[in-house]
């Protein structure tokens, strides 16, 4: 049965009286989605949380949606097959859209290996709301950081469809930000992201 057939015909979108712009005005900054993507071990979560700490210190309303965390709940029923990876990103995209509408500076840290999936999330949002942050790190560096031994297991064939080894990672073609997390200090990458947000008028530096 097609997914469309399961949708209720009695569902009507309710337009809230409190608007996104009103929430942004209360927060003192605009909202947006910062989508951190890269290989496992590229430093996505580390950078996303460090950026959030900096934004929090500036008084911004923030939230990080972390790839591992959602696998414990919202996406706990999904595997790591290509099909389920697509569904994983679809769900996160819809959740992130709600956070952006709430006036929150939303940060996500997901491998999100497929360009088409990232493009679908971008299409959910208004122009300039989706900020792709490519955490660029070589595979060698990622493997050297692999404290869980996942790459070794993948190379031994113990983990199927592991991104970068037995499943592809499609690098962003035109990301808003390229953070060289494999070579630059963490705080320099944080500064790069914050500076972009300031330059775009999303936040003001205090």
Measured distance CA(65)–CA(54) in Å, rounded: 16
Cα three-residue angle 103-109-112, rounded to 5 degrees: 115
Give the pairing of strands 130-135 and 62-66: unpaired
Cα separation, 170 vs 150, whole angstroms: 20
Q: How far apart are CA 70 and CA 76, in angstroms?
A: 7
How many CB atoms sit inside 10 A of residue 124's CB?
15
d(CA 29, CA 31): 7
- Contact between 100 and 32 (Cβ < 8 Å): yes
Given the residues 21, 112, 195, 204, the one annotated as active site: 112
**Residue pointed to by tokens 């630059």:** 184
Asked about 112 being catalytic, the answer comes back as yes
- Percent composition of the chain: helix, strand, coil (DSSP 3-state, to 5): 40, 15, 45
Catalytic residues: 112
């Amino acid at each position: 049965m097609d997914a469309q057939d399961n949708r209720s015909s009695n569902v009507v979108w309710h337009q809230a009286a409190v608007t996104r712009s009103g929430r942004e005005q209360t927060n003192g900054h605009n909202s947006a989605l910062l989508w951190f993507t890269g290989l496992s071990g590229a430093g996505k979560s580390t950078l996303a949380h460090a950026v959030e700490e900096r934004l929090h210190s500036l008084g911004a309303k923030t939230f990080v949606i972390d790839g591992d965390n959602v696998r414990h709940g919202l996406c706990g029923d999904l595997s790591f097959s290509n099909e389920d990876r697509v569904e994983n990103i679809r769900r996160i995209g819809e959740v992130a859209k709600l956070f952006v509408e709430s006036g929150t500076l939303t940060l996500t840290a997901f491998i999100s290996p497929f360009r088409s999936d990232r493009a679908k999330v971008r299409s959910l949002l208004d122009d300039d709301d989706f900020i792709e942050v490519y955490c660029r790190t070589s595979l060698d560096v990622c493997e050297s950081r692999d404290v869980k031994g996942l790459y070794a297991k993948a190379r031994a064939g113990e983990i199927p469809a592991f991104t970068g080894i037995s499943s592809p990672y499609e690098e962003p073609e035109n990301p808003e930000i390229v953070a060289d997390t494999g070579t630059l200090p963490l705080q320099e990458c944080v500064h790069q992201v914050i500076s972009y947000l300031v330059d775009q008028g999303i936040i003001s530096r205090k």
